[in-house]
Amino acid sequence: MKKALICALALVLLLTACGSGRTAADAPFTLDDAETLLNAGVFNGDMGKVDSTFVIANLYHVDENAIEECVSYQAANTSQSADEVVVIVFTSKDAAVNAEVGFQQRIDEQIANAKNYAPEAVPRLEAAVIRRVDNTILLAVGDPDRLAEAVDNLH
For the chain, the domain total comes to 1
Domain membership flag for residue 11: no
| Residue 67 structural domain | 24-152
Q: pLDDT: is 14 or 69 the higher one?
A: 69
Domain membership flag for residue 2: no
DSSP states along 103-123:
HHHHHHHHHHHHHHH-GGGHH
- Asked if pLDDT for residue 45 goes beyond 60, the answer is yes
Banded pLDDT at 78 (limits 50, 70, 90): confident
| β-sheet with 47-50: strand ranges across | 47-50, 67-75, 84-90, 136-141, 129-133
Domain membership flag for residue 3: no
Domain membership flag for residue 110: yes
Domain membership flag for residue 77: yes
Residues 129, 114 contacting (CB under 8 angstroms): no
Q: pLDDT: is 39 or 80 the higher one?
A: 39
E strands, 26-109, where? 47-50, 67-75, 84-90
Banded pLDDT at 15 (limits 50, 70, 90): very low
Domain membership flag for residue 9: no
Domain membership flag for residue 51: yes
pLDDT digits (tens, 9 = 90+) for 59-68: 999 999 999 9
Domain membership flag for residue 122: yes
Picking from 2-11, 61-70, 106-115, 125-134, which range would have the lowest pLDDT averaged per residue? Answer: 2-11
Give the chain's mean pLDDT. 85
pLDDT digits (tens, 9 = 90+) for 96-117: 999 999 999 999 999 999 998 8
Banded pLDDT at 126 (limits 50, 70, 90): very high
